[in-house]
Structure 1
Amino acid sequence: MKTAVTELLGIEYPIIQGGMAWVGEYHLAAAVSEAGGLGIIGAASAPADIVREQIRKARELTSKPIGVNVMLLNPNADEVAKVIVEEGVEVVTTGAGSPAKFMEMWKAAGVKVIPVVASVAMAKLMERAGADAVVAEGMESGGHIGSATTMTLVPQVVDAVDIPVIAAGGIADGRGFAAAFMLGAQGVQMGTRFVVAKESIVHDNYKQKVIKARDIDSEVTGMSTGHPVRQIRNKMTREYLKLEKEGATFEELEYLTLGSLRKAVMEGDVVNGTLMAGQCAGMVNKEQTCRQIIQEIIQEASALLNK
């Protein structure tokens, strides 16, 4: 399946794995890349030497292109940006800010830069800064979200920029893939479906919560702080929303969630942990290998797009 995104990134299928903190580590990233998509190592707030180690371990498992997601608010972002160049990483996705200050260095090294955006204004800004493509991510997605839906955001971003647009948010099967292309996207980014991949190191408790999730099991916390996060509802989200309603301070709310994503991913704490997942969790009902996931989506989408 050739699109502007497969040509740009040198991959077989226009499917990118979301750069999820704790979840997007080298096992998953390498498996997605090896299966023909683009695997992404989520650097999150990790120090540069950990990111370097992750990249090298992924390289041992695949010779295909891999990417790194850089959260620009990470205090280690400057060092991580240099590691990406030193290790010859092919693609960078970015979130939480503008990568403009790294653009010259990355472009000189031949790194493809794909910021994740939640608005038309940010997409235009990223194109002017030199981005090779953008991920237009709707609020249906898991983790940190914007305010526009995928259905409304993607076509508006497509109309606003000349670079390829990758759709994200609520995409979990061939129907979502096909719909994204009908909206003008040239690729898709998925997170929730890959959380439950066999190669994902996510604790089975977390995986089972995603697999058993219904359409109404998604909750957004942090609206009052300006940092909304979508996750699967549990005791922690109920407590968080109660505190928000009572007017708790940002510090009190932050303390409640401190280390909670790691607890969920690594320890399987599904009661007090943060179970980041998109609204499409209700459509994810089985654990498969990354290759099976990608093949199934491409087959479904091809049948729909070729009707």
Structure 2
Amino acid sequence: MNNICELLNIKYPIIQGGMAWVADANLASAVSNAGGLGLIAGGNAPKDIIREEIHKCRNLTDKTFGVNVMLLSPFVDEIIDLIIEEKIAVITTGAGNPAKYIDRLKEANVKIIPVVPSIALAQRMEKLKADAVIVEGTEAGGHIGELTTMVLTPQVADSVSIPVIAAGGIADGRGIAAAFALGAQGVQVGTRFICSEECNVHENYKTMVLKSKDRDAIVTGRITGHPVRTLKNKLAKDILSMEKQGIDPEEIDKKGIGSLRLATKDGDIHNGSFMAGQIASIIKDVKPCKDIIEDMVNQAKNIMPSIKL
């Protein structure tokens, strides 16, 4: 059996990305019911909101699901408390180092899978007894690092003994086969699940992904130290213009406040932040999570018959 499947008690080693304002109970339960690992995004939401999503998810699936914890959230301490109270099986973490919480989570039998952008952080997570690591390349949507999935995955796989999950630039079975060839034992998929029937984002968000071209997923915020990959629109162009003009990074950060909500809930195609990965342009349809996952798995097996899925 695949190590990730055994670790998480899931059918396929496919983890849904913890996308803020996107990954709710509806999407997470659909992915889990389809055999993957669905995640509820903690984002910057307070404890009560996430508790409600956890309870909704439990009503929609009896399969394993998890919570993505954003370590920069002002509510991170209470979210960790909630995860322990609710006996969540697994968490992924992003935007920081979860070291200070690992002992408590381990005592509560929570599986911990941090997102890492480098070999050094992956090795540190292994020493701290993380159960696996998600290696996220710069191709991914949202907040990104510098190295690509193609180069980072094999380097981390060679550097740690815990399972490696590849993320960034994976939206079909070809991506899964490539990730496994590079040493990964699982994949994390984000952008593809935006265009699922069960994803509750505004239809304009899905349309933006479906109509995107190969060079439309661009990076803003490099000058602020918080680079983000989003689809090209007025907001993204305005921010890039501000960066070129040398405007104060704090002013640039302010420009993006609330923009993710404008994209996901209001569908504001001009002022919303439509976070998506570079692989967005190969996505051409909206279909159920079950079909997305099964199509991915079948394609990967056809390419690599020996693959452990």
> Which range, TM-score by smaller chain?
over 0.9
Residue 51 of structure 2 corresponds to residue 86 of structure 1 = no
CA deviation after TM superposition for structure 1 residue 137, in Å: 0.4
**Residue of structure 2 in register with 1:264 after alignment:** 263
- Which amino acid counterpart does residue 152 of structure 1 have in structure 2? V
Per-residue CA deviation, residues 24-83 of structure 1 (Å, 9 max, x unaligned), is 111000100011000000101100111111111000000101110001111111110010
Distance 1:106 1:123 in 2: 18
- Whole-Å separation in 2 of the counterparts to 1:257 and 1:285: 28
Cα distance in 1 for residues equivalent to 2:222 and 2:249: 11
Q: Equivalent residue of 1:230, what SS?
A: strand
User: How far 1:231 moved relative to its partner?
Assistant: 0.6
Report the secondary structure of 2:87's partner residue. Answer: coil
CA distance in 2, matches of 1:231, 1:237: 7
Partner residue of 2:250?
A: 251
Distance 2:93 2:10 in 1: 19
How far is 1:223 from its partner? 0.8
String of CA shifts for 1:90-113, please: whole Å, max 9, x gaps: 110001111111111111111100
Counterpart residue number, 2:222: 223
| 1:17-32 superposed matches below 5 A | 17-32=16-31
Answering whether residue 14 of structure 2 is matched by residue 15 of structure 1, we say yes
8 A contact 2:64–2:89 mirrored in 1 = yes
In structure 2, what is the equivalent of residue 132 of structure 1?
Answer: 131
Answer yes or no: is the 8 Å Cα contact 1:67–1:92 preserved in 2: yes
- Do 1:196 and 1:202's aligned partners in 2 also have CA atoms closer than 8 Å? no
The aligned counterpart of 1:44 is 43
Aligned counterparts, 1:227-306, within 5 A: 227-306=226-305
Is contact 2:71-2:96 (8 Å) kept? yes
Report the Cα offset of residue 256 of structure 1. Answer: 1.1
Q: Which residue of 2 aligns with 1:95?
A: 94
Deviation track 1:228-252 (CA, whole Å, cap 9, x = no partner) reads 1001000001100000001111221
Letter aligned with residue 100 of structure 2: K
Rounded Cα–Cα distance in structure 2 between residues aligned with 1:96 and 1:217 = 24
Letter in 2 for 1:292: D
- Equivalent-residue separation in structure 2 for 1:121 and 1:226 (angstroms): 19
> Residue in 1 aligned with 2:34?
35
Q: TM-score, normalised by structure 2?
A: 0.98
SS in 1 for 2:135: strand
User: Which residue identity lines up with residue 290 of structure 1 in the other structure?
Assistant: C
1:107 corresponds in structure 2 to: 106
Letter of the aligned partner of 1:269 in structure 2? D
Identity rate of aligned residues, in percent?
Answer: 55
Q: How does 1:146-157 map to 2 (within 5 A)?
A: 146-157=145-156
Contact 2:14 2:188 in 1 (8 A): yes
What amino acid is the match of 1:284? I
Q: What is the DSSP-based 3-state SS (H/G/I as helix, E as strand, rest coil) of the residue aligned with 2:96?
A: coil
Whole-angstrom CA distance in 1 between matches of 2:26 and 2:305:
34
Secondary structure, aligned partner of 2:165: strand
Give the C-alpha shift of residue 266 in structure 1.
Answer: 0.3
TM-score, normalisation: structure 1: 0.99
In 1: Cα distance, 2:54 partner to 2:247 partner: 40
Would you say how many aligned residue pairs link Structure 1 and Structure 2? Answer: 306
In structure 2, give the amino acid aligned to 1:288: K
1:181 CA displacement: 0.3
Runs of 4+ in 1 over 3 A off after TM superposition: none
CA distance in 1, matches of 2:139, 2:34: 25
Runs of 5+ unmatched residues, structure 2: none
- Aligned residue type for 1:147: E
Alpha-carbon distance in 2 for matches of 1:306, 1:251: 51
Unpaired runs of 5+ residues, structure 1, are none
Establish whether residue 162 from structure 1 lines up as the match of residue 161 from structure 2.
Answer: yes
